[in-house]
A = this chain, B = another copy of it.
């Protein structure tokens, strides 16, 4: 039995999810939904229709799971509860501070409809959350730190683009190796944002723009940049297209802890990702979660869930027997 999936939103993440579905024989892409003119999109998958988003309700009996591939700022807070009232849904909502409110909204809608809504499924939140959870359960006495990068932060790149005189920008988040090493050694430090990450900005300025002002506005921008050591390099649009077209990312979750009766033994647990394409990797997580959410519904579950609630084996197309024989 295949899991029939539709994708809502055909930006970078939606395209990444489409490519991931094509690599999983037990997943079938039924349709892509868009707010744009459907005729303006060309899918990679042959024979799959593109529909306007208003047609979503017509999919009610045609799909098992709807993958929501919009943004966390304005799309998902509305869409995930709205569509959880009709479908099993999966999203990659990643505004950590707003997860409890998002969970509550999706939970109410999904419970009323008897569906499952699996939220915040990417790599952070997502795989990094799992790494933190397992490590905390095994080593209750310890400390964890998450490092991001080297990779492109789309939120920080967008923040630079909003500055007057900026045509385009790319911001790389860069972890500081000395801080990672100290955490690996189990040193119990109070690390500030500045200790952990650098921010590298590549900026295309409009002709005649005041570069000194742009640089100052970037470096003093509250929350985004002011708590970090930030470098600003002005480049041409051609250089940006040539050298900074990709969306690589990654990072590391580290936990150091102690065991024994006198804290005499140190342990470190490290989970790390190096990703050439952030949206394709996140789309791959969403695809595996589509399989899991379909299984969760078949097992009689309803309501909002996160990856922390998913029995790991349900993410896999392989049977329990196969997993025990070949992978455990």
Binding site for B on A (CB under 8 A): 16, 19-20, 22-24, 44, 96, 99-100, 103, 120, 125, 127, 129-134, 136-141, 184, 259-261, 264-277, 280-281, 283-285, 288, 291, 306-313, 315-317, 320-321, 323-325, 327-328
Contact = CB atoms under 8 A, between A and B. Distances in A.
Contact of A328 (B19, B99, B265, B327): B99
Nearest to A22: B261
A44 B262 CA distance: 11
Contacts of A270: 270-274
21 contacts: A20-B259, A99-B324, A99-B325, A99-B328, A100-B321, A100-B325, A103-B324, A127-B134, A129-B327, A133-B312, A133-B316, A133-B327, A137-B315, A137-B316, A260-B277, A260-B280, A269-B273, A270-B270, A306-B328, A311-B311, A312-B312
B129 A288 contact: no
Contact of A277 (B133, B265, B269, B316): B265
Top-3 shortest CB links A-B? A265-B276, A259-B280, A265-B277
A134 B311 contact: no
Contact of A129 (B100, B284, B328): B328
Best-surrounded residue of A103, A133, A259 (most CB of chain B within 10 A):
A259
Contacts of A306: 324, 328
A270 B138 CA distance: 18
Contact of A133 (B23, B307, B309, B323): B323
Contact of A125 (B133, B307, B328): B328
Contacts of A274: 184, 267-268, 270
Contact of A134 (B23, B140, B315): B315
Contact of A130 (B44, B134, B261, B317): B134
A321 to B, nearest CB: 7
A220 to B, nearest CB: 30
Contact of A260 (B19, B260, B273, B323): B19
Contacts of A141: 23
Contacts of A313: 133, 308-309
